[in-house]
Structure 1
Amino acid sequence: MIKIQVPARICFYGDHQDYLDLPVIAGAIDRFIHLWAIPNPKKEFVLELKDLGQEFSIVLNDDLAVVEPGDFFRSGMAVLKQHGYVFEEGYFIEISGNIPVNAGLSSSSALLVAWIRFLVTINGKADEVSDFQIGRWAYDAEVKFFNSPGGLMDQYTIAQKGLLFIDTKSGKSERLVGNMGKLLVAESGLAKKTLLVLKNANVFAKKAVASVKQAHPEFNLAEAVLGDYQRYGQFVPADFQDHWYATIHNYHITLQAKAELEKERPDLQKLGNLMNQHQQILQERIQNTPMEMAKMMDAARMAGAIGAKTIGSGGGGCMVAMVPENKITAVKKAFLATGAKKVYEVEIIS
């Protein structure tokens, strides 16, 4: 039997920065997708998605010429076929997990990473292919294959695990030695609006940067400093001012957090403050946070959370909070009292 376990992920700093080729800080956490597979005599993959109550088959001789949007199983096969992989033996495959769906913890990317690992394993190359390459192929299958607006953070973090500073332009990752302290994830119960939020934020941010580069072709976003917000702001149309602010300030917050997490004993209060600053920008500038979730996070901070923010693209889904050990119970109660459906502790895993 083939057994594969793949984690969820949290972006702590740098949300809505990866499509601008700016860095992010993200970590893999101990919520998982599990895949079990045994050979079958059929020339097909027979899949059972336990949590969704779905069963379907993929015949091995499918030419994959037409792949419906969101069919990551076939897109994953198509991507690997482009790299010489073949699928000759059928399998019964069962998939389940404890990552909430459509909630910001990247259940879809985790599922796809598990699938890519399975396809690599049945080709006898599990020991030859790097985690980086697994992440790359998962990104190709989820984003590039469908020309979607997302970045590469989810797939690269899930495949490589740990707490990472990711250069989203190259995909190069740097492992951070610091920790985030005690972490709580709260499920809001509100469905995310991933594609709508991502599309708007992506388009507006890119237009803001393009307007600056049109006036000053020498401007390099990767070398931007806080003063550039004021220096070039006059060249940004009013409709894109909020996203111009978010681009420059979130980048600065991410770099500050990186400097702190490069230390073996980071200042958790400083990291919490940076998380709150990041959330304020997401909430007020990118406008990705429903009022209900904002109230939940305010209550969590009042109960003792050091920092709190939405997870993922926004519009709904989960929140993460940094919490002192002696405040865990109080913060859990605060989340639940203001409408959260579930709250649980998580750890970053390597």
Structure 2
Amino acid sequence: MEISTPGRICLFGEHQDYLGLPVVAMAISLRAKIAGQKRKDQQVIIHKPDIGETESFLLNDLVYTKPRDYFKSGIKICSGEELVFSNGFESEITSEIPIQAGVGSSSAVMVNWIHFLSQMADKPVAWNAQKIGELAYKAEVLEFAEPGGMMDQYSATMGHLLYLESEPEISIKSLNPNLGIFVLGDSCEPKDTMSILQRCRDTRLEIIKKLKVKNPDFNIHTCTDVDMSPLNDEEKGIFQGTIKNRNILRQALPELEKVRPDPTWIGTRLTQHHAVLRDILQVSTPKIEAMLDASLDAGALGGKINGSGGGGCMFAYAPKNAEIVAEAIEKVGGKSFIISSDSGTRIV
């Protein structure tokens, strides 16, 4: 059994989904794969040749022994859906997706794992993509009380270009997948995803709490004129940036729904979105900025940091000159990947 699942980039709504705001994300043509089969005993063995590790445990011992013990949590979540595993399994995970770089590599692996488990059960089940995304989110985020949203898991399962709302209920809409070519640039800088997510999330949740004192009917989806007197100047800037990025997504959505969206217009909005992430949330780095500047100088239409930030990846929108933009990223020390929209998780 072999499963293949894509990474993702976030076009609009970065650092917004965990506030309940919508996102526009795109599954990309860099994928992770899991291949494996059942064993005759109860051992679970996962080979990870990309990082030179092998993990193993028994099906009857799913006590977590490390932070983010995802392979055990995946089995627990699937067992909660009444899947039964009488036999263990042995598998190998490989990936083209940059690891810990903000491109959804861990979520692609988790989606692969949930999809794989659905087929390794005593009675295999044919869950749809949204169900796999829901269970992957539970196993990766909710099970460990982590601060992330659900963009990564649903992008990996559904594929292509998506508009995702998480409030008041989960709503997923497919958009025009024919935006053309992007260039992903990996800064190869290590990043601390959890601490950045917690800082950006917790700061803004506290801001919202303060605003509700003076604005009892406050709603982040609809607010326009807000009494910001409870906030200091820094908090006012963070709140205004959050609303600006909310509005950039709203402006972009009708364009992305067109059969022939305007590439230049989209590129400009990507760069505007990045400016808030850089200047207000302060999640960019000098190297990411050098890669973005090099991309724009080489003719890219726009771009932004991708993922939580503090390192990791950026991407540039370059539908007509991807090779030149990729070379420009490499010249300033990044590792480049020419990417496009791709399908969601699938059995190979």
Mapping of 1:206-221 within 5 angstroms?
206-221=205-220
Distance verdict in 2 for CA 1:128–1:333, change over 3 Å: closer
Structure 2 counterpart SS, 1:190:
coil
In structure 1, the residue matched to 2:337 is 344
1: CA distance between counterparts of 2:134 and 2:55? Answer: 26
The equivalent position to 1:92 in structure 2, one of 81, 90, 108, is 90
In structure 1, the residue matched to 2:263 is 268
| CA contact 2:118–2:125 (8 Å) conserved in 1 | no
Matched to 2:229, the amino acid is Q
Mapping of 1:51-70 within 5 angstroms?
51-62=50-61, 64-70=62-68
Structure 1 counterpart SS, 2:131:
helix
2: CA distance between counterparts of 1:255 and 1:124? Answer: 45
Between the two proteins, the alignment pairs up a number of residues equal to 342
Matched to 1:152, the amino acid is M
In structure 2, the residue matched to 1:331 is 325
2: CA distance between counterparts of 1:110 and 1:178? Answer: 19
Distance verdict in 2 for CA 1:296–1:282, change over 3 Å: same
Structure ranking higher in helix proportion: 1
1: CA distance between counterparts of 2:274 and 2:254? Answer: 19
2: CA distance between counterparts of 1:308 and 1:269? Answer: 11
Matched to 1:37, the amino acid is G
The equivalent position to 1:148 in structure 2, one of 142, 146, 152, is 146
Matched to 1:234, the amino acid is S
1: CA distance between counterparts of 2:28 and 2:122? Answer: 28
In structure 1, the residue matched to 2:277 is 282
Q: How many angstroms does 1:44 deviate by?
A: 1.2
In structure 2, the residue matched to 1:162 is 160
In structure 1, the residue matched to 2:111 is 113
2: CA distance between counterparts of 1:160 and 1:112? Answer: 14
Where in structure 2 are there 5+ consecutive unaligned residues?
Answer: 344-348
Q: How many angstroms does 1:68 deviate by?
A: 2.6
Structure 2 counterpart SS, 1:78:
helix
2: CA distance between counterparts of 1:86 and 1:165? Answer: 34
Q: How many angstroms does 1:40 deviate by?
A: 2.0
Matched to 1:32, the amino acid is R
1: CA distance between counterparts of 2:85 and 2:66? Answer: 20
| CA contact 1:178–1:265 (8 Å) conserved in 2 | no
Instruction: Point out the more displaced range, 255-264 or 331-340.
Output: 331-340
| CA contact 2:42–2:58 (8 Å) conserved in 1 | yes
Distance verdict in 2 for CA 1:232–1:265, change over 3 Å: farther
In structure 1, the residue matched to 2:346 is none
Q: How many angstroms does 1:223 deviate by?
A: 1.3
Identity across the alignment (%): 35
Q: How many angstroms does 1:126 deviate by?
A: 5.7
In structure 2, the residue matched to 1:181 is 180
1: CA distance between counterparts of 2:268 and 2:122? Answer: 47
1: CA distance between counterparts of 2:298 and 2:194? Answer: 33
| CA contact 2:185–2:291 (8 Å) conserved in 1 | no
Matched to 2:323, the amino acid is T
Distance verdict in 2 for CA 1:163–1:127, change over 3 Å: farther
1:196-223 deviations in Å (ceiling 9; x for gaps): 1111100111122222211111121111
Q: How many angstroms does 1:336 deviate by?
A: 1.5
Where in structure 1 are there 5+ consecutive unaligned residues?
Answer: none
Q: How many angstroms does 1:237 deviate by?
A: 2.7
1:228-268 deviations in Å (ceiling 9; x for gaps): 3xx43333233422320221011001111111101111111
1: CA distance between counterparts of 2:319 and 2:144? Answer: 42
| CA contact 2:298–2:324 (8 Å) conserved in 1 | yes
| CA contact 1:179–1:261 (8 Å) conserved in 2 | no
| CA contact 1:3–1:36 (8 Å) conserved in 2 | yes
TM-score (normalised: structure 2): 0.94
In structure 2, the residue matched to 1:257 is 252
Distance verdict in 2 for CA 1:110–1:239, change over 3 Å: same
2: CA distance between counterparts of 1:244 and 1:125? Answer: 49
1:54-104 deviations in Å (ceiling 9; x for gaps): 112121112x24453111001111112222122111222111111110111
Instruction: Point out the more displaced range, 246-255 or 64-73.
Output: 64-73
2:10 pairs with 1:19 = no
TM-score (normalised: structure 1): 0.94
Structure 2 counterpart SS, 1:113:
helix
2: CA distance between counterparts of 1:105 and 1:37? Answer: 24
Instruction: Point out the more displaced range, 239-248 or 277-286.
Output: 239-248
2: CA distance between counterparts of 1:80 and 1:183? Answer: 35
